Chain A
Amino acid sequence: MKVKTTLMASAVAAVAGGAMAEEMTIVSWGGAYSKSQLKAYHEPYSEKTGVTILNDDSSAEAVAKLRAMNEAGNITWDVVDVVAADAIRLCDEGLALEIDFDSQLAAAPDGTPASEDFGDLLVSDCFIPQIVYSTTFGYRTDLVGDNPPTEICAVFDLENYPGKRSLEKRPINNMEWALLCDGVAKEDVYDVLATPEGQDQALAKLGTIKDNVVWWSAGADTPQLLADGEVIMGSTYNGRLFSVIEEQKQPVAMLWDAQVFDLDGWIIPAGLSEERQQRALDYIMFATDTQRLADQAKYISYGPARASSAPLVGQHADLGIDMAPHMPTDPENAKNTFLYNYEFWADYRDDIDAKFQAWLAQ
C-alpha cells in the first residue's frame, strides 16, 4: 500500500515536472493581435517543439506587473509583448534581459545578420521588434462632404470639417501634430517641444479644437466612435482602422499623413531560471525569423520589423486581399511619417503629461 502511494506520488511529480518543462507563458495584447500571433508564431512553434503555450492578455499592465513580480522574486511570464517605450523602461529598470541580436536571433535567409536586418528599429538592448504599427487618423467618408481630408491639419480645421474628433488622452503624438499644424517644421518639432513655450504653443493649438474632442484611452474607442458616427475623424492604431474598413465595411477611410510609427515587440523578463530562459530564447529565435514575421501580416495589417520580411508579405488569410497597400510602411502610405521619439518622451513624458492633464482638467 505504502509503496503504491509513493509510486503514485512520484508519478504525479514526474507528470507535473514534465508538464512544467513543456509549458511557457506568453503575454500579449489580446484580441485580433494575439490571434495573429497565435496563427503565425504559437501554433507552428508548438507543432515543432511540443511546447504548450499559455496566453496571458496583460500587456497593457506589463511594466507594472513585471516590476511587482521582480520585487516578489517570482516571475511567472516567459516572453512578453510590449511597445518599444515600455521595453526601454523595462530595460532601464533592469527588468528585461539584454539580447545579443546577432547570436540570439536568426539571420535573414540571405545571411544578413539580424542587427542589420532590423537596422534602426533596434531601439533598446532588450527589445526584439516584431511589427511596425502606426497611430494615424481615420475619417467618415459620408460626413466630410466632397472634400475628403488629405493632410493632418484637417484635424484642426473646424471650418471645413466641422464635428467631433477623437484624440488619445495623452500628450504623445497630439503635441507633435499640433506643432506641425501650427507652422513648426518637422525637423524642429522636438526642439520646440522641449521648451516650456513650445509646450504652451502645442497646447494652445490643441485648445482651438478642445471643445470638439472626444478623448480616448483604449484603442477600441475610436473605431467604435467612428462606426457610431460620434466623431467625424479620430486617431487610433492603423490595424484597428483596417478592421473597421475592410472587415466591418464601415464608411471609413485612412488619412495616412503624418502617421506616427511605433514598434511593438518582445522582451524576455530578467531573472528567469536558466532552463526557462533558454526556452524563451529558443522561441524568440523561431518567432522573429524572416518568414514568421511576414506570416503575421497575413492576419493583421501591421508591417513586419525585418527588412527581409517585406517582400514576403502576401494576402490576408480570410479576406484574400493584398496586404501590402494596407501596411503603414507601404511607400504610398509613408510619404510623410514620424517615428516615435523614444528618448525625448522617456525624458519629457512625466513633465509634459502633468501639464497636459492639468490643461485637460481646466
Chain B
Amino acid sequence: MTDATQSGPMLAADGTPLKKSLARSLRRRKLRALALIAPLLLFVLLSFVIPIMSMLFRSVENSIVADTLPLTVVELRNWDADSGELPDEALYAAFTKDMITAIDEKTHTRLGSRLNYEQTGMSSMFRRSGRQIKKLDPETDGPFKDKLIEIHDGWGDVETWRTIKTHAVPITNGYFLNAIDMRRTPEGAQAQPEDKQILIKLFGRTLMMSLIITASCILLAYPVSYLLATLPMRVSNLLMILVLLPFWTSLLVRTSAWKVMLQQQGVINETLVWLGLVADDARLVIINNQFGTIIAMTHILLPFMILPMYSVMQTIPDSYTRAAKSMGATNWTTFWRIYFPQSIPGIGAGSILVFILAIGYYITPEIVGGTKGVFISNRIAYHISSSLNWGLAAALGTILLAVVLLLYWCYDKIVGIDNVKLG
C-alpha cells in the first residue's frame, strides 16, 4: 500500500509520468489514423476542395483591368467620373503606354472581352484600336488624346472611361450583382433594365420545379418501395431489377426516349388520337415545356427516392403493425400512426438526394424543357462554354451552392438531420 501514500504523479512502467505516457500513446494513435486517411484526405483536397474554392474565387476576382492597364488605373483615380468631361491628356498618354505593352503580350483583346460583358462594343473597340495603337510611339507621338479619338470615337466617349474606372477594382461584387439581375455602375448597384432580367426568375423556377419533382417522386416511390419491402423476396428481387434497369441506362438515352414518347407525333399522342380521346388537330403539348421537364426528371430521379425508402421500410418490423391491428386499429390508423412515422427517415433521405440532384440538373431540361422548362444550370453552362463569362458562372454557382446549404440547414432545423437514414 506504499503506492497510495506516495506523493507526486503516478508513474508508468518506464518511469515517465503516466499522464504524459498516455498522451504520447494517444497522439501516436491519432497520427497513425491520420496517416491512414491521408491518401483520401489529399485526394479530396486536391480534386474537390481546391477546385471548388478556386471556382468560387473567380466570382469576385477581377485583377485583369488593373494588370493590363496599370498606369491608366492610377491616372483614373484622379479623374472625376461624374464630371461629364473627358479625362485629360496624362490619362490618354498612360493608356497608350499600357496598351502598347498589352498589345505586345496580346492581352488587350482579353481585356476587351472582359469589359464587353459590362458595355457592349468594347470587344471590337479594343481589337480594332489595337492594330492602330501598335504603330504609335509612346515617347514621341504625343499628344495622344485626339489621336486615340480619331482611331476609335469610343475613346472620346465618357461612358468608356466610366466603365473602365468602375471595373478597375481587383476584387469586385460585379459578378454577384449580375447574378441577381443588377449591375455595378459608378453610382453604385442598380437594377438591370427590365428586358434583361432573367436570372432571379430562373433561380425561382429551378427551386419551384425541383420541389415539384421531389414531391412527385415521393408520391410515386412510396407505394413502389412499400411493395418492394413487403412482397416475398423472390418477387421483390424481380421488381428491384425493374427499378434498377433504367438506372443503368444512359441519361441521354432515357431523356431522348421521353422525347419520342411525349412529342406531338409521339407515342402518347398517337395512342390518344387512335383511341379517339384527343382530336387530331388538338394534340396535347406535353414536351418542350415545364410539364415535359417534370415528367422526364421525375422518371430519371425516381430510383434515388425508391432505394433509400426501400432500405428504411425493410427495417420496419412486421410485428408492430400486427400488434396495432390486434389492438383494434383500422388499416388506415395502422398505416398512418405506426408504419408511416417509421418510414419518414427514408422519405427524408430520398427527398434530400432527389432535390439536390434536381437543382443542378442540366441536360434533361435542355432537351425536353423548351423555353419555360429550363433551369439556372442551363445558364451556367451557357456562361461556361459559350460566353466564357466564367466570373458570372462562378457567381451563379456560388449562389446555387449557398441556397442548397441554406435549405439543408432549414431541413435540419425543421425535420432534423438525425432523422435521415439510408437503411
Q: Which residues of A contact B (CB under 8 A)?
A: 60-61, 63-64, 67, 89, 91-94, 164, 169, 200, 214-215, 217, 228-230, 343, 346-351, 353-355, 357-361
Contacts and interface: CB of A to CB of B under 8 A. Distances in A.
B385 to A, nearest CB: 4
The secondary-structure label for the interface of chain A is helix
Contacts of A361: 198, 201-202, 371-372, 374
A214 B288 contact: yes
A214 B112 contact: no
Contacts of A93: 109-110, 113, 388
Interface string B373-401: 01000010010111111100000000000
Contacts of A354: 192, 196, 198
Contacts of B197: 358
B117 A92 contact: no
A353 B389 CA distance: 13
A92 B116 CA distance: 12
A214 B387 CA distance: 23
A214 B123 contact: no
Interface in B326-347: none
Contact of A360 (B124, B265, B371, B387): B371
Given A215-B288, A357-B379, A350 B120 contact: yes
Q: Specify which of A64, A214, A359 lies most central, judged by the most chain B CB atoms within 10 Å of its CB.
A: A64
A92 B263 contact: no
Which size bracket describes the interface of B in this complex? 35 or more
Contacts of B122: 347
Contacts of B264: 164, 230
A71 B110 CA distance: 14
A350 B371 contact: no
3 closest A-B pairs (Cβ-Cβ)? Answer: A92-B109, A358-B198, A360-B371
B110 A92 contact: yes
Contact of A228 (B198, B263, B366, B379): B263
A171 B366 CA distance: 17
A94 B389 CA distance: 16
A347 B124 contact: yes
A60 to B, nearest CB: 8
21 contacts: A61-B385, A64-B384, A92-B109, A92-B112, A92-B127, A93-B110, A94-B107, A94-B109, A94-B110, A228-B263, A228-B266, A230-B264, A343-B124, A350-B116, A353-B387, A354-B196, A357-B379, A358-B195, A358-B197, A358-B198, A361-B374
B201 A349 contact: no
Q: Specify which of B106, B201, B379 lies most central, judged by the most chain A CB atoms within 10 Å of its CB.
A: B106
A222 to B, nearest CB: 13
A200 B371 CA distance: 19
Nearest to B196: A354
B370 interface: yes
Contacts of B109: 91-94
Contacts of B265: 228-230
A140 B384 CA distance: 36
Q: Specify which of A350, A355, A361 lies most central, judged by the most chain B CB atoms within 10 Å of its CB.
A: A350
Contact of B198 (A92, A200, A357): A357
Q: Specify which of B123, B192, B197, B390 lies most central, judged by the most chain A CB atoms within 10 Å of its CB.
A: B123
Contact of A348 (B120, B196, B198, B370): B120
Contact of B385 (A64, A92, A230, A349): A64
Given A92-B127, A214-B288, A347 B116 contact: yes
B160 to A, nearest CB: 13
Nearest to A229: B265
Interface in B85-104: none
B107 A92 contact: no
Interface string B133-154: 0000000000000000000000
A94 B68 CA distance: 14
A354 B392 CA distance: 13
A92 B288 contact: no
B371 A355 contact: no
A357 B381 CA distance: 14
